[in-house]
């Protein structure tokens, strides 16, 4: 399970994704000269290494390929980086949801323990009616210990709740990034996938507030 610090780090890195190699999400537009270019992989590798678009233009010129600067920029931003970022967002959103689920499961466990202790406390109070003083005193001591345990568990629940508050800010930031990605998405499939991520995150937030 990803920690809160890890998923925050992933959020900070999403806008500077650095992945290489072929993926099953490769965009291939028939009307994009660079998508159809035999030097596409070389160009994308150069871009990954930090080469400027102007340098890439010159590289293509040495290969006898003339592609306008805006076309290269469009390809790199929307046909290359966009699917990589979308994939990173999906992985990150999964980490966020998993982290939230783990916290919620832990809170459920604490609530069950508290309910069981309250039930035990109730039965102890019923059992000491009309009993001798020693029995009452022993039961009182046990009851005090149970009440203290319940208070400790409630403190743990509060700590969990406090721990969840910063993640709401993270989710809001992530939703803003995804909204921006949806605007720039070049395919219906990508847009729908990103919208699904937003929907799942909203469900996670609603569960956090229950």
- Domain spans of the chain? 4-13+84-208
pLDDT at site 181 = 65
Taking the C-alpha atoms of residue 200 and residue 188, their distance in angstroms, rounded to an integer, is 18
Taking the C-alpha atoms of residue 107 and residue 161, their distance in angstroms, rounded to an integer, is 9
pLDDT at site 208 = 52
pLDDT at site 165 = 72
Long-range contacts, 119-126 (Cβ 8 Å, 24+): 120/146, 121/146, 121/147, 121/150
Taking the C-alpha atoms of residue 44 and residue 49, their distance in angstroms, rounded to an integer, is 9
pLDDT at site 16 = 41
CB count, 10 Å around CB of 18?
10
In the predicted model, residues of the chain with pLDDT beneath 50 are: 1-2, 4, 6-8, 10-24, 210
CB count, 10 Å around CB of 82?
19
Whether the model clears a pTM of 0.75, i.e. scores above it, the answer is: no
Burial class (CB in 10 A: 0-12, 13-18, 19+), 171: buried
pLDDT at site 127 = 73
Helix (H) or strand (E) holding 181: helix 133-184
Note whether 103 and 163 are within 8 A (CB). Answer: yes
Q: At what angle do helices 133-184 and 4-13 cross, to 10 degrees?
A: 10
Taking the C-alpha atoms of residue 168 and residue 206, their distance in angstroms, rounded to an integer, is 10
The number of helices, as runs of H, and strands, as runs of E, in the chain is: 7, 0
């Amino acid at each position: 399970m990803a920690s809160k610090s890890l998923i925050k780090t992933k959020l900070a890195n999403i806008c500077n994704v650095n992945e290489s190699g072929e993926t099953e999400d490769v965009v291939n537009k028939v009307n994009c000269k660079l998508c159809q270019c035999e030097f596409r992989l070389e160009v994308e590798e150069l871009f990954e290494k930090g080469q400027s678009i102007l340098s890439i233009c010159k590289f293509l010129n040495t290969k006898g390929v003339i592609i306008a600067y805006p076309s290269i920029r469009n390809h790199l931003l929307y046909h290359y980086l966009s699917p990589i970022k979308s994939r990173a967002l999906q992985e990150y959103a999964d980490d966020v949801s998993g982290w939230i689920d783990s916290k919620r499961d832990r809170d459920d466990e604490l609530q069950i323990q508290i309910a069981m202790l309250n039930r035990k406390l109730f039965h102890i109070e019923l059992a000491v009616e009309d009993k001798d003083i020693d029995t009452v005193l022993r039961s009182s001591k046990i009851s005090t210990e149970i009440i203290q345990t319940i208070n400790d568990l409630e403190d743990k629940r509060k700590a969990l709740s406090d721990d969840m508050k910063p993640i709401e800010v993270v989710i809001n930031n992530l939703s803003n990034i995804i909204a921006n990605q949806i605007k720039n998405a070049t395919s219906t499939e990508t847009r729908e996938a990103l919208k699904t991520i937003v929907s799942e995150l909203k469900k996670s937030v609603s569960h956090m507030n229950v």
